[in-house]
């Protein structure tokens, strides 16, 4: 497999990093400000250069020559009226990402964000980003991508920015959805019944759809639950108590009509993490890492498209196999 190099910022627990690795990117650096998430990255990939650092303190010139700059950078929250709320400028890391692009001069850029960035009230904000990238010699494309289209059993729409040099971007093709996502019951059935719970089979039949988007919460707000009231109500329709995270799976002595809670491992599967990926930290910290992650299969699919565009000649546009890229996650140890 042809491989390339990557610098990832705001790396979190490694969802995007794991996907990009399986697609063929070797990490020259993984930068994250939260200590538990850094320990998670180091626990799983001790050979990576994991840096606990604010992105503002990173010098992109140290990574000149990398093929890809990637990350899930936060942007400032806006009110419904479309005006930036006072005091939230410091949460906007897009300017820092653009600075790193200018300094590192990567061959490609991949930045993911929440669906809200695609809304009309962000038109001027997006236009400013595109203008800065063009000034640096890059052409860009945005797309709203849903995790369910790439084998992940939840909706989880994300807004993805891809930027490359003009000739390379003309070779880039967004991966085609494969429509292979299992239901929540199919994804978690073996875990839910692993301790002899008599209600496991009935639960699998009830959890016959994909789940709503997991919400990890912030460091200051949000505990280990599956999201706001509406999300918890949707989880309950699937037979899941979304008010918290369980320490263990249901057992043989639990009633068959129990409304079970997900364990951390179950939540990780809902995000598309392989069971081999370990997490460091207490329950709330670990769930926040999981719930805020970018699903690895989605990153794998987009990463494969990027690698194809970077290494394919202009007249030979490659067709990316999304299924192969996502499946290769299971081969990463």
Q: Quick: pLDDT tens for 125-183.
A: 999 999 999 999 999 999 999 999 999 999 899 999 999 999 999 999 999 998 789 99
* pLDDT tens digits, 79-128: 333 444 443 455 789 999 999 999 999 999 999 998 889 899 899 999 99
Give the relative orientation of helices 94-104 and 123-135 as an angle to the nearest 10 degrees.
10
Helix residue ranges, H only, 57-93:
none
Domain boundaries, the chain: 4-179+292-331, 184-291
Give the model's confidence band at 258: pLDDT under 50 very low, under 70 low, under 90 confident, else very high.
Answer: very high
* pLDDT tens digits, 13-42: 999 999 999 999 999 999 999 999 999 999
Helix residue ranges, H only, 153-271:
166-171, 184-192, 200-206, 229-237, 264-270
Angle at 112 between CA 293 and CA 103, to 5 degrees: 115
Give the model's confidence band at 224: pLDDT under 50 very low, under 70 low, under 90 confident, else very high.
Answer: confident
Q: What pLDDT, on a 0 to 100 scale, did the predictor assign at position 219?
A: 59
Q: What pLDDT, on a 0 to 100 scale, did the predictor assign at position 30?
A: 98
Q: What pLDDT, on a 0 to 100 scale, did the predictor assign at position 178?
A: 85
Give the model's confidence band at 220: pLDDT under 50 very low, under 70 low, under 90 confident, else very high.
Answer: low
Query: What global pTM score does this model have?
Result: 0.89
Give the model's confidence band at 229: pLDDT under 50 very low, under 70 low, under 90 confident, else very high.
Answer: confident
Average pLDDT across the chain, whole number: 89
The topology (CATH level 3) of 4-179+292-331 is: Rossmann fold (3.40.50)
**Residues noted as catalytic:** 75
């Amino acid at each position: 497999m042809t491989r390339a190099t990557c610098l990832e910022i705001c790396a979190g627990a490694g969802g995007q990093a794991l996907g990009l690795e399986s697609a063929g990117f070797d990490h020259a650096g993984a930068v994250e400000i939260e200590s538990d998430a850094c320990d998670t990255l180091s626990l799983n990939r001790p050979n990576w250069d994991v840096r606990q650092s604010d992105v503002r303190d990173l010098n992109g010139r140290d990574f000149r020559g990398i093929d890809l700059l990637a990350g899930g950078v936060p942007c400032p929250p806006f009110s419904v009226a479309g005006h930036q709320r006072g005091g939230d400028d410091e949460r906007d890391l897009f300017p820092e990402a653009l600075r790193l692009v200018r300094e590192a001069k990567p061959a490609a850029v991949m930045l993911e964000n929440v669906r809200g960035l695609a809304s009309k009230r962000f038109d001027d904000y997006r236009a400013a980003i595109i203008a800065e990238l063009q000034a640096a010699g890059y052409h860009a494309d945005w797309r709203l991508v849903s995790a369910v289209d790439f084998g992940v059993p939840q909706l989880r729409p994300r807004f993805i920015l891809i930027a490359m040099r003009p000739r390379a971007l003309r070779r880039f093709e967004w991966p085609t959805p494969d429509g292979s996502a299992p239901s929540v019951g199919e994804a978690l059935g073996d875990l839910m019944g692993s301790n002899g719970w008599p209600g496991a089979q009935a639960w699998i039949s009830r959890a016959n759809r994909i789940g709503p988007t997991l919400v990890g919460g912030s460091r200051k707000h949000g505990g280990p639950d599956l999201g706001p009231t509406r999300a918890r109500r949707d989880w309950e329709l699937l037979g899941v108590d979304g008010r918290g995270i369980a320490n263990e799976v249901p057992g043989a002595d639990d009633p068959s009509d129990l409304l079970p809670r997900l364990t951390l491992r179950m939540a990780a599967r809902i995000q598309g993490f392989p069971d081999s990926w370990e997490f460091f930290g207490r329950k709330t910290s670990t769930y926040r890492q999981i719930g805020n992650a970018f699903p690895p299969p989605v990153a794998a699919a987009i990463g494969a498209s990027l690698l194809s565009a970077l290494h394919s000649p202009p007249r030979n546009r490659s067709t990316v196999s999304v299924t192969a890229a996502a499946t290769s996650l299971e081969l990463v140890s």
